[in-house]
Amino acid sequence: MMASSDSMAPSGPFQPVSLQYTKARRQYQQWLDRVTPFVLYRWLGTAGVLALFVLRILFAQGWYIDAHAIYLLNLLLAFLQPKFDPSLEQDFLADEIEEGGEDSTSPLPSQRDDEFRPFVRRLPEWQFWLSATRATVIALFCSFSEMFDIPVYWPILVVYFFVLFLLTMRRQIQHMIKYKYVPFDIGRKVRYGGSK
């Protein structure tokens, strides 16, 4: 007796809901796969949704923006940081050398003769875009509910955001200078295997 592929599907009153959910997830994933190569258009779309969110806040005169801005700042910092932090590795190497271990190399080049190692982000661009877009869409929909409109003294939150932004970006820039890395591709792209 052959088992059909439908025998693995859940049976009962929730089967149509489950099938529709699976179909919707598959369509959503297909849409994400289609938009992946269009980096500029993806970010322009996210900027558009963010602009709609800001306009919604201005017209509704609500208090929604500060938590969203702090979340986006958190995503930006993860995007700018290397996946393997050289400061943590140096601390680990110093501890290892003190214990009599051998010296190993850093993931970032430390001398001119070191081999090139590409910058690997803690949060890849795709995940940064997807998380920022999802958060903005969710925040936009939440702005239509009075339940999420909690009144606060907004000048304190705005000052808090700017102080947080300045302190974290200063620390991040000092980290980039100390370990000599730039988290952006600047200049001409080099193609391997092609003509010069």
As to burial, measured by CB atoms within 10 angstroms (0-12 exposed, 13-18 middle, 19+ buried), residue 16 is exposed
Evaluate whether residue 13 is within a structural domain: no
Buried b (16+ CB within 10 A) or exposed e, 50-81: beebeebbeeeebbbbebbbeebeebbbbbbb
Select from 75, 181, 173, 92 the least CA-distant residue to 130. Answer: 75
Q: Is the pTM of this model over 0.75?
A: no
Give 27-41 pLDDT, tens digit per residue: 989 998 899 899 899
Residue range of the domain that includes 129: 26-104+117-179
Q: How far is CA 21 from CA 33, 76, 112, 137, in A?
A: 18, 32, 54, 20
Buried b (16+ CB within 10 A) or exposed e, 93-124: beeeeeeeeeeeeebbeeeeeeeeeeeeebbe
**pLDDT at position 41:** 95
Distance, in Å, from the CA atom of 44 to the CA atom of 39, rounded to the nearest integer, reads: 9
Give 59-87 pLDDT, tens digit per residue: 887 666 677 888 998 999 888 888 776 66
Evaluate whether residue 15 is within a structural domain: no
Evaluate whether residue 146 is within a structural domain: yes
Evaluate whether residue 173 is within a structural domain: yes
Greater model confidence, 5 or 181: 181
Work out how many domains the chain is built from and give that number.
Answer: 1
Distance, in Å, from the CA atom of 187 to the CA atom of 130, rounded to the nearest integer, reads: 26
Calculate what percentage of the chain has a pLDDT beyond 90.
21
Evaluate whether residue 21 is within a structural domain: no
126 and 35 Cβ atoms separated by less than 8 Å:
no
What is the mean pLDDT of the segment spanning 36-51? 94
